[in-house]
Protein backbone atom coordinates (compact mmCIF):
# COMPACT_ATOMS: atom_id res chain seq x y z
CA UNK A 1 0.00 0.00 0.00
CA UNK A 2 1.35 3.40 -1.00
CA UNK A 3 1.47 5.86 1.89
CA UNK A 4 -0.16 9.22 1.55
CA UNK A 5 2.06 12.26 1.10
CA UNK A 6 2.38 14.73 3.93
CA UNK A 7 2.44 18.53 4.07
CA UNK A 8 5.66 19.92 2.66
CA UNK A 9 7.94 21.38 5.35
CA UNK A 10 7.72 24.89 3.88
CA UNK A 11 3.89 25.01 4.14
CA UNK A 12 1.86 26.62 6.89
CA UNK A 13 -1.90 26.69 7.20
CA UNK A 14 -4.30 29.28 8.54
CA UNK A 15 -8.06 29.17 9.05
CA UNK A 16 -9.84 31.73 6.86
CA UNK A 17 -13.58 32.36 6.33
CA UNK A 18 -13.52 30.29 3.10
CA UNK A 19 -11.91 27.26 4.81
CA UNK A 20 -8.14 26.89 5.09
CA UNK A 21 -5.32 28.83 3.46
CA UNK A 22 -2.15 26.89 2.68
CA UNK A 23 0.89 29.14 2.34
CA UNK A 24 4.31 28.17 1.00
CA UNK A 25 7.45 30.10 2.01
CA UNK A 26 7.80 31.38 -1.56
CA UNK A 27 4.47 33.24 -1.23
CA UNK A 28 2.36 30.85 -3.29
CA UNK A 29 -0.89 29.96 -1.59
CA UNK A 30 -4.06 27.94 -2.02
CA UNK A 31 -7.40 28.36 -0.28
CA UNK A 32 -9.30 25.13 0.22
CA UNK A 33 -12.91 24.75 1.31
CA UNK A 34 -14.13 23.02 4.49
CA UNK A 35 -14.11 19.56 2.87
CA UNK A 36 -10.54 20.16 1.68
CA UNK A 37 -9.60 21.37 5.16
CA UNK A 38 -10.93 18.12 6.63
CA UNK A 39 -8.83 16.16 4.14
CA UNK A 40 -5.76 18.29 4.91
CA UNK A 41 -6.10 17.65 8.65
CA UNK A 42 -6.61 13.92 8.03
CA UNK A 43 -3.35 13.61 6.08
CA UNK A 44 -1.36 13.48 9.32
CA UNK A 45 -3.34 10.57 10.76
CA UNK A 46 -4.52 8.67 7.68
CA UNK A 47 -2.48 5.99 5.94
CA UNK A 48 -4.29 5.34 2.66
CA UNK A 49 -6.29 7.13 0.01
CA UNK A 50 -9.31 4.99 0.82
CA UNK A 51 -9.08 6.10 4.47
CA UNK A 52 -8.89 9.69 3.27
CA UNK A 53 -11.97 9.15 1.10
CA UNK A 54 -13.74 7.72 4.17
CA UNK A 55 -13.09 11.01 6.01
CA UNK A 56 -14.80 12.84 3.18
CA UNK A 57 -17.70 10.35 3.07
CA UNK A 58 -18.46 11.05 6.75
CA UNK A 59 -19.16 14.73 6.12
CA UNK A 60 -22.78 15.95 5.92
CA UNK A 61 -24.20 15.79 2.39
CA UNK A 62 -21.25 13.73 1.17
CA UNK A 63 -21.47 12.22 -2.30
CA UNK A 64 -21.27 8.48 -2.98
CA UNK A 65 -18.13 6.50 -2.06
CA UNK A 66 -16.70 6.44 -5.59
CA UNK A 67 -17.01 10.21 -5.86
CA UNK A 68 -15.37 10.65 -2.44
CA UNK A 69 -12.46 8.47 -3.53
CA UNK A 70 -12.08 10.42 -6.79
CA UNK A 71 -12.24 13.78 -4.97
CA UNK A 72 -9.65 12.65 -2.38
CA UNK A 73 -7.32 11.38 -5.14
CA UNK A 74 -7.66 14.62 -7.11
CA UNK A 75 -7.09 16.69 -3.95
CA UNK A 76 -3.86 14.85 -3.12
CA UNK A 77 -2.57 14.86 -6.71
CA UNK A 78 -3.23 18.57 -7.19
CA UNK A 79 -1.55 19.60 -3.93
CA UNK A 80 1.42 17.34 -4.73
CA UNK A 81 1.75 18.96 -8.15
CA UNK A 82 1.54 22.45 -6.65
CA UNK A 83 4.17 21.71 -3.99
CA UNK A 84 1.94 21.85 -0.90
CA UNK A 85 2.39 18.11 -0.26
CA UNK A 86 5.51 15.97 -0.40
CA UNK A 87 5.82 12.22 -0.92
CA UNK A 88 6.89 10.26 2.13
CA UNK A 89 10.27 8.57 1.86
- Residue 43, domain CATH: 1.10.10
Distances, alpha carbon 58 to alpha carbons 11, 42, 51, 54, 70, in Å: 26, 12, 11, 6, 15
Question: What is the count of structural domains for the chain?
Answer: 1
pTM of the prediction? 0.87
Look at residue 13 and tell me if it is in a domain. Answer: yes
pLDDT in tens, the chain (89 residues): 567 898 999 999 999 999 999 999 999 999 999 999 999 999 888 888 888 999 999 999 999 999 999 999 999 999 999 999 998 76
Q: What pLDDT was estimated at residue 26?
A: 95
Look at residue 26 and tell me if it is in a domain. Answer: yes
- Structural domain of 27: 6-86
Among candidate residues 42, 34, 5, 38, the one with its CA nearest the CA of residue 18: 34
Look at residue 1 and tell me if it is in a domain. Answer: no
Amino acid sequence: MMRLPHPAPNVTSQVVPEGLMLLREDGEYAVINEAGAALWRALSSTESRSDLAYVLAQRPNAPDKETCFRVARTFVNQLLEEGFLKDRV
